[in-house]
Amino acid sequence: MSVAKIGGRRGRPRLPSTDRAIYAAAAALIREKGYDGFSMAAVADRAGVAKTTVYRRWPTRAHLVLETLSSVMRPSLFDSGDLRADLIAFAFTTAAGLRAQGTRRLVAELTLAVTERPDLAEAMRRLYNQRRGAALASLYRAQKAGELRPDVDPDLLIDQVSGTLHYQMLLGDDAPTDAYAERLVDAVLEGALPHGADV
């Protein structure tokens, strides 16, 4: 385990259990009070840690909010050389994050908050581009290898998968299942593969 350095000195190791407690507290407070009712002090109190513990990890409220969302929506795309398997891994991980308890309220609150807070909007764009970059790397490799048609836009393909899963979570009757995510990937790939290739 790495040791954090604070002010040039060796500090205590950062405990994953503390991070998890803080993420859980932050997510719960956003769901209950929205972004405007969310504070670092309230998170510390809910998580049972000192406020300085929270500020050492996240300098601003926006940083903590975005890392909380990232903890729910962990990217998991493996560039295995199998385009369908890689895209399904991405879709499954996204769908699992969207099914997590309270995610619908969390995403809805953050979507509303970014319309009025440029700092949060910029942080969300960075998070989105990080996740997108991991997925695009696999798609561009597949396109270079001839597994995707050269006229297919990988950015648009990712939008189709990710956007549809988010739409299903926010406006559908149920959060997206793995079966739904797999059908979605197959439907998207059907029009993107070279002629004669099977999904």
Residue 195 lies in a domain: no
Q: How far apart are CA 120 and CA 105, in angstroms?
A: 17
Going by pLDDT thresholds of 50, 70 and 90, the confidence category of residue 81 is confident
Q: At residue 128, does pLDDT exceed 90?
A: no
pLDDT digits 0-9 by tens, 82-104 = 888 888 988 998 888 888 777 78
Residue 155 lies in a domain: yes
Structural domain containing residue 149: 74-190
Residue 52 lies in a domain: yes
Q: How far apart are CA 46 and CA 87, in angstroms?
A: 37
Q: How far apart are CA 25 and CA 46, in angstroms?
A: 6
Q: Do 112 and 175 belong to one domain?
A: yes
Residue 199 lies in a domain: no
Whichever domain contains 163, its CATH number is 1.10.357.10
Q: Do 104 and 177 belong to one domain?
A: yes
- Domains of the chain: total: 2
Q: Do 121 and 145 belong to one domain?
A: yes
Q: Do 126 and 185 belong to one domain?
A: yes
Residue 88 lies in a domain: yes
List Cα–Cα distances, 89 to 17, 22, 92, in angstroms: 26, 27, 5
Q: Do 153 and 170 belong to one domain?
A: yes
Q: At residue 2, does pLDDT exceed 60?
A: no
* pTM beyond 0.75, yes or no: no
User: What is the largest distance, in Å, between two alpha-carbon atoms of the chain?
Assistant: 62
Going by pLDDT thresholds of 50, 70 and 90, the confidence category of residue 111 is confident
Q: At residue 39, does pLDDT exceed 70?
A: yes
Answer with the one of 32, 51, 68 that is the final residue of a domain. 68
Q: Please report the pLDDT score of residue 4 as a whole number.
A: 35
Residue 62 lies in a domain: yes
* Highest-pLDDT range among 29-33, 103-107, 131-135: 29-33
Whichever domain contains 53, its CATH number is 1.10.10.60
The mean pLDDT of 53-70, rounded to a whole number, is: 85
Tokens of 41: 């002090």
Residue 196 lies in a domain: no
Q: Do 58 and 116 belong to one domain?
A: no
Task: For the chain, give the mean pLDDT.
Answer: 81
Answer with the one of 24, 47, 68 that is the final residue of a domain. 68
Q: At residue 3, does pLDDT exceed 50?
A: no
pLDDT digits 0-9 by tens, 137-178 = 888 988 999 888 899 999 999 999 999 998 998 888 788 999
